[in-house]
Structure 1
Amino acid sequence: MSSTAPLLNTMIVQSVSALVFSVLIGFFVYRYRVLDSSEIEQEIILSWSESISLPKNPFNDLLVGINSNVDLIVPGVELLLKLNVTPGNYFNHDQLYSLDHLQETFSYFFRKGSAAERAFMDVDLFGKIVSEAEKLSNPHFYIGGNAALMGSKIANEFPNVKLHLVGPVGPKLLKLLPSSIIVPKISHIAKDEVHLIMEYQPGELWGNHTAPVATRFITSYDESNSKATMIEAFFQYTENFHPDLIILSGLHLLEGQSAAFFNQKLSFIQSELDKVPKQTPVHLELASMANKKFVKEIALQVLSKISSLGLNEQELTFLSHAANGPHGEYFENIHGQPDIYKISDIILWILKTYGYSKENPSYKLTRVHFHCLTYHIIGIHPSAWKNNPSAVGAGTRIAGIQACDVDSPNPDLVTLKFPKQFKLFSGDKMRTFNESQPIMNWTKDGFHFSISPVLVCKQPLKTVGLGDSISATGLMFSEYVPNFNS
């Protein structure tokens, strides 16, 4: 007994050691495997599925408005060639009066790889451009306008939600909208407003410029939306329908109007937002604008009256430029992926300048959702919003799904373009990205932030309305605390 016991103990120790060694080797082999470039995307997708959850108290009754139209989507370069427009100078025109203006403004954003939208001021010329666009191969009309796109995404993904859409809805658009969306009679118009979507792909050439990413340039001549003809009906509608979330969009289209008209509409919107009950959050979705004075007025008159703001890198950096925020000239220098710390600095400035605080208890802004091609950041006042990590993760997940036009994330169709080394904000230490924890969270000056990378579609099939789907999804995964400032 005594002679065999030591031998038995030695065999047990050796067996356990071998088992532990095998487990460790297996672990390191696994880690090496998932860190391979072909496996990283799968690791992120798995992490999303484990960490993203719906809020305990979701939104159920929504009012969405006001810009809606049909989008005619065409290849941008092909259309310009069809119009006998040749490559030339690039310049950012605030408004478009000619084919030269179209070419120069398209080229300006094409070389930057930034989505943009500009109003055409000549109705006859725009009509001719649309006629030529309809002659291209496989032209298709789709749901367009931030309000209609956000409403459609929510209706399709959250079928139990009761959603009312107030905005100009013509016959084509009415047929395209999900049947569950309630479109009151005040929204019906006789003829659809058409927006022309000029898409391009990464690596596509226009003159001596190469598109760095897949995105689009939008132009339109739109009476109903550019004059916000439905804005009075939109706010009047809240008197009978009491939503638990209001989504407002289309202010950017007022840029094509005179300063007097713009200010009159903005003053009306400001006064109506003051009437919205404090327990009802209002989300404003911005879009591309070029008039510094108009953007500054939106910041001064509207931002403190809303609860949530959605915007991309062009809109965020130009807002900071127009309203004297941090990194004010950065909007002129963005090429490709915007610096994370600069974006989070600007989000923090927006929340501190126009947001709710003990010093400004009447201000309502408590949430900013930023989205770009490669990552999203949501900054919140933690007493007003919950489930923020899930909201930003759900937003980034839907970006790759929609761009690839698939039903669920597919690691073979997407790629990670998030930086390996980065700073979350100015003064922060340099960090290393960990694909097993793609949703990162931090607190700065009392505000909570969440960031998640986008898995970018390698061959995007559907870029139009991507920002609207992202914002809509992020909202539906967010939870608002109605009486946070009581």
Structure 2
Amino acid sequence: MAGAPLKFGSLLSICIVLYAVFYRKNYEGDLRLSPVREHLLFLESGNKVGLGNRQPKVALGYGACHDLFVNATLLLDYRELKGAPEHFNEISSKDEFLKSFAYFFKHGAAAERFMSNAKLYDELIEQALKLPDTRWAIGGNAPLMAKRFHMEGWKVLFAAKMSKKLKEYIPDEIKIVGDEENEEVKDDVHMILEYKSDEKFGSYKAPRANRYIMHNDENNPLLSSLEKFGDHLPGFKPNLLVISGLQMMDNYPFKTDNDKDLRAERLDMVKEQILSQPLNTLAHFEMASYVDLELLKHLTTKVLPFVDSVGMNEQELTNLYSVLEYGEVSVVADSNPRVATALDQMRKTFHLIKKQNKKYDSNRRLTRIHVHTLAYQAIMTVKDSKWKRTEAAAAKASLTAHRYVCNTKEISLEKAKLLLDDSFSTTTDNDNNSRVFFEPTKPVACWEEEVDGDKVDICVAPVLICTEAQLTAGAGDNISAAGLVLQVEK
């Protein structure tokens, strides 16, 4: 009835809402930032990597490259874009390059593509080197993850054929294997086209900062360090084996000899390398951007059934689930998915990989999935498995995301924002009303549930998103490695 006084319950509800709004925002910004930072740092500082005889060891394969970082919208002229953005599995012309870049740019999605036109690729490299702020760095999943593990206190072995110049980027304490003594190695070069959030490319605007990677590799697709790596693994006795860099095989024109599938043969050797490790050596597979369906199917039969852990971003999660469930490639997905959506895909992927474990009679089974997104880290581990400290791992991965992208050791609140809502559903299932309320003073939400007959722990940590992105390429490698750092105990 108009003019009727508010009941106490209604008044209380309004007060709670107003308090929540005030708590979340004041004139200076998001009040949740400081308590979130302090608790994430508390979790990180309270969980350290073992020292001396307790120091864990990690072995990583395969490959390395020179990364050439380029301002994407300075290198590419949107006026040369003829027609609508379009997806291509491989790039053979400037027209395809522009359409492919625009396709992922407008979605803010990360992508990695092979350019089959070597002449065009060399010309683009020459153009890029004339631009301001272009810079060189070491690239590749294995070396970037290796550097992160070393930085966090692990003993590291990694496999790649590298020139002496490229090896200068690697700390002396990291053991590199792959090339013969005094072998002259020509390094592969990857071009990293970076763009910032809200940057424009003609009529398109990027919804988030990200990168588009182009390569014309000759060395990495062949996993040329594979054999040398295998020779050194028995003596190194790693606690963790990381398989990465297999996306360099994506759409690479492998030469066939007497109807032999060279790519399948190399992946069979990767499988044998994993199987050669004792079961107390945990095995992790680092996903990446794949579009070659045949390669993805190889991964679901030759790699995924034989690892304990998988790490990936939100695009790669959607793609992996799509291949496992429907036998189809998902080229692009929501760049900032709801927590409930990601968790549902993680559960389904967990179920599907477990089926592969059984189908291929694997002695290993999947017990860990880590998904990193712009807004949050989600880690699921099977209870009573060998993975430890899931809550602290999610916190460390979150902090690493901010530090790496901002290129700083400090967590600066002036350069941070939160995208995670004050509460989130744990599933999109309409019959399940389970919600988690985000507490700034205890920001890593963890709970136990049953997934496909296994009791699992799930932890979701908010990311203090860097608002002044300095680095995008390599963020996933550093985040995934940081998530693993605290979960393995010798």
Instruction: Give the TM-score band, short-chain normalised.
Output: 0.7 to 0.9
Q: In structure 2, what is the equivalent of residue 394 of structure 1?
A: 396
Alignment of 1:102-141 (within 5 A): 102-141=97-136
Q: Is the 8 A contact 1:400 1:409 kept in 2?
A: yes
2:158 counterpart residue number = 165
2:222 and 2:276 map into 1 onto residues whose CA distance is 22
SS in structure 1 of the partner of residue 76 of structure 2: helix
User: Which of structures 1 and 2 has the bigger CA Rg?
Assistant: 1
Contact 1:442 1:448 in 2 (8 A): yes
Report what 1:466 is aligned to: 475
Cα 1:56–1:383 change in 2 (3 A) is: farther
SS of structure 1 residue aligned to 2:325: coil
- Given that residues 81 and 99 in structure 2 are in contact (C-alpha distance below 8 angstroms), is that contact kept between their aligned partners in structure 1? no
Cα drift, residue 146 of structure 1: 0.4
Deviations 1:316-355 (A, max 9, x none): 1011111116xx9995673331122221122222323324
Contact 1:67 1:250 in 2 (8 A): yes
Contact 1:66–1:228 under 8 Å retained in 2: yes
Is residue 449 of structure 2 the alignment partner of residue 444 of structure 1?
yes
Shift of 1:122: 1.7
Match of 1:62 among 58, 64, 73: 58
Check if 1:197 corresponds to 2:192: yes
Encode CA deviations 1:44-96: one digit per residue, 9 max, x unaligned.
001112233325756522212212111000111111139x8446421111111
Which of 432, 440, 455 is matched with 2:464 structurally? 455
Letter in 2 for 1:265: R
2:334 corresponding residue in structure 1? 335
SS in 1 for 2:77: helix
Distance, in Å, in 2 between the alignment partners of 1:197 and 1:38 is 33
Q: Secondary structure at the residue paired with 1:391?
A: helix
| Separation in structure 2 between the aligned mates of residue 154 and residue 87 of structure 1, nearest angstrom | 44
Alignment correspondent of 2:3: none
8 Å contact kept, 2:178–2:224: no
TM-superposition CA deviations, 1:378-422 (whole Å, max 9, x none): 111122211001001100111011111111211111100113342
Alignment pair present for 1:372 and 2:367: no
Taking only the aligned residue pairs, the percentage that are identical comes to 25
**Counterpart in the other structure of 1:14:** none
1:379–1:33 distance in 2 versus 1, CA, 3 Å: closer
Q: Distance in 2 between matches of 1:59 and 1:35?
A: 43
Whether contact under 8 Å (2:293, 2:328) holds in the other structure is no
Could you tell me how far 1:197 is from its partner in structure 2?
Answer: 0.1
Instruction: Give every structure 1 segment of 4 or more consecutive aligned residues whose post-TM-superposition deviation is greater than 6 Å.
Output: 28-31, 356-361
**What is the CA-CA distance between 1:281 and the residue it aligns to?**
0.9
Scaled by the length of structure 2, the TM-score of the pair is: 0.85
Pick from 65, 72, 75: which aligns with 2:68?
72
Matched residue, 1:403 = 405
Q: 416, 426, 448: which is aligned to 1:414?
A: 416
Contact 1:55 1:479 in 2 (8 A): no
Post-superposition Cα deviations, 1:92-128, rounded to whole Å, max 9, x if no partner, equal 1111111111111111110111111011112222111
What code does the residue aligned with 1:392 have? A
Confirm or deny: 8 A CA contact 1:313 1:338 kept in the other structure. yes
Q: Compared with structure 1, are the counterparts of its residues 185 and 216 closer, same or farther at alpha carbon in structure 2 (3 Å cutoff)?
A: closer
Task: Tell me the CA shift for residue 178 of structure 1.
Answer: 1.9
Contact 1:59 1:476 in 2 (8 A): no
1:428-476 Cα offsets, whole Å, 9 max, x none, are 4244322222101122321211111111111111112100110111111
SS of the counterpart of 2:284?
A: strand
Q: Given the two structures, how large is their TM-score scaled by the length of structure 1?
A: 0.86
RMSD between aligned residues: 2.7
Q: What secondary structure sits across from 2:130 in the alignment?
A: coil
Classify 1:97/1:129 alpha carbon distance in 2 versus 1 (closer, same or farther; 3 Å).
same
Are the counterparts in 1 of residues 293 and 329 from structure 2 also a CA contact under 8 Å?
no
1:219 is displaced (CA, Å) by 0.6
Q: Does the residue aligned with 1:409 lie in a helix, a strand or coil?
A: coil
Farther-moved stretch of structure 1 (370-379 vs 28-37): 28-37
Q: Could you tell which deviates more after superposition, 286-295 or 102-111?
A: 286-295
Tell me by how many angstroms 1:287 deviates: 0.9
- 1:64 is aligned with what amino acid? L
Aligned equivalents of 1:134 and 1:262: distance in 2?
A: 33
Aligned residue pairs, count? 449
Aligned to 1:43: 35
Residues 118 and 216 in structure 2, CA contact (< 8 A), matched pair in contact too? yes
Q: Is the 8 A contact 1:69 1:170 kept in 2?
A: no
**Aligned equivalents of 2:217 and 2:133: distance in 1?**
24
Opposite residue 345 of structure 1, the aligned amino acid is: D
Q: Which residue among 433, 436, 440 is the counterpart of 1:435?
A: 440
| Aligned twin of 1:17 | none
Aligned-partner Cα distance in 1 for 2:405–2:356: 38
Segments of structure 2 that go 5 or more residues without pairing to the other structure are 1-17, 255-260
Matched, 1:145 2:137: no
- Distance across 2 between alignment mates of 1:169 and 1:357: 35
Q: Is the CA contact 2:378–2:461 (under 8 Å) kept in the aligned structure 1?
A: yes
Stretches of structure 1 lacking an aligned partner (at least 5 in a row):
1-27
Deviation at 1:32, TM superposition (A): 5.6
1:321 aligns with 2:313: no
Secondary structure, in 3 states, of the residue corresponding to 1:368? strand
2:484 maps to amino acid: L
In structure 2, the residue matched to 1:308 is: 309
1:332–1:241 CA distance, 2 compared to 1 (3 A): closer
> Hey, what's the Cα distance between the residues in 1 that align with 2:356 and 2:243?
23
Residue aligned with 2:90, SS = coil
For residue 303 of structure 1, what is the amino acid of its counterpart?
A: L
Note if contact 2:191-2:214 (Cα within 8 Å) is conserved in structure 1. Answer: yes
**Residue of structure 2 equivalent to 1:6:** none
